[in-house]
Amino acid sequence: MEPLIRKAKPEDKPFIEEISKLTWEGEDYLARVFETWLKDGNFYVLELEGKVIGTAKLTILPDKVGWLEGLRVHPNYQKRGFGRLIQNFMLTKGRELAEKGVINALEFSTYFLNKESIAMAKKDGFKIVERFYYVQRALGDGEKPKPSKIDSLEELDYKGYIPYGWKLLHRCEESLKWLNRKAEIREYKGLKFLYVPMHENEPAFTPFKLSTESIKTLLPAMSFEAKKIGYDSVDMMLPEDRSDLIEPLKELGFKNWTDFKEPDVWVFRKEL
């Protein structure tokens, strides 16, 4: 039987849960975001002999970006060309959306050692446009922050991209409105941060001000929010151009998967 790529359906969830349990040592977020992605649309599965063995999602982000995420192939079916099959399908969907004027580029982020995905992306014409360090710290004592909003882009110490979990948004007015609508935004001692709801992605935190003092001050509030949603660490995306904060972050207890040898989250872009 030939493989079939189709839109995801509610009854696909058990297959998605199985793939999630076998990805990233069971820490994959795919099952958690399933309902949100179904509602949002552009969520596809690869079916073979009645079994869902792969997934992919295209999310429309501000500034006419088509964000690719959730590309998975069940471990039992890897190394058989299914990843390439899904990738080609998503590229076609991207071009169709570009022809309609919905998007003008495809982007995605990935861990820098995801060699197969990176090689495939480069072959398809994607180029690295930004890099980040993914940093994590154990939770400390928590203090409750208050709800807030973003009043101006000037509040955010990020140049090209604003981190929203593993999604990276262009710094533009449309992103400001998008974040005010979707993100969890908090204020504590005159400082602000945001994070991604658990039903959307990994809840990494984005402090508005990138300074040692700001991050240190916000740690109790970020710890409170992380604990509230059942997360066991404070995670952040540190832009490559702010490597001056690496040593201060280490002193605050932050760690990195590669011990900060190089940025480990790469953002790719392909013009359409």
Query: What confidence tens digit (pLDDT) does each residue in 171-230 have?
Result: 999 999 999 999 999 999 999 999 999 888 878 999 999 999 999 999 999 999 999 999
- 124 is a domain residue: no
**150 and 85 in one domain?**
no
**179 and 249 in one domain?**
yes
Tens-place pLDDT, residues 43-101:
999 999 999 999 999 999 999 999 999 999 998 898 899 999 999 999 999 999 999 99
**174 and 247 in one domain?**
yes
Model confidence band, residue 246 (pLDDT cutoffs 50, 70, 90): very high
- 147 is a domain residue: yes
DSSP secondary structure string, 116-150?
HHHHHHHHTT-EEEEEEEEEEEE-------EE---
**Which of 103, 123, 142 lies at the terminal end of a domain, its last residue?**
103
Strand partners, 195: 184, 205
- 167 is a domain residue: yes
Left, alpha or beta for 151 (phi > 0: left; psi -120 to 50: alpha)? alpha
**244 and 150 in one domain?**
yes
Q: Tokens 């429309």 map to which residue?
A: 60
**154 and 72 in one domain?**
no
Q: Tokens 């509040």 map to which residue?
A: 155
DSSP state of 9: -
% of the chain with per-residue pLDDT over 90: 88
The count of domains in the chain is 2
**145 and 81 in one domain?**
no
**162 and 92 in one domain?**
no
Residue 34, number of CB atoms within 10 A of its CB: 21
Whether the pLDDT of residue 247 is over 90: the answer is yes
The alpha carbon torsion through 197, 200, 201, 204 (nearest 10 deg) reads -20
Domain around 135: 131-265
- Predicted TM-score (pTM) of the model is 0.94
**261 and 135 in one domain?**
yes
**248 and 191 in one domain?**
yes
Model confidence band, residue 1 (pLDDT cutoffs 50, 70, 90): confident
CATH number at residue 37: 3.40.630.30
- 270 is a domain residue: no
**164 and 88 in one domain?**
no
- 258 is a domain residue: yes
The contacts of residue 268 (CB under 8 Å, 6+ apart) are 107, 108, 109, 110, 118, 121, 126, 127, 128, 129
* Residue 138 contacts residue 233 (beta carbons within 8 Å): yes
- 14 is a domain residue: yes
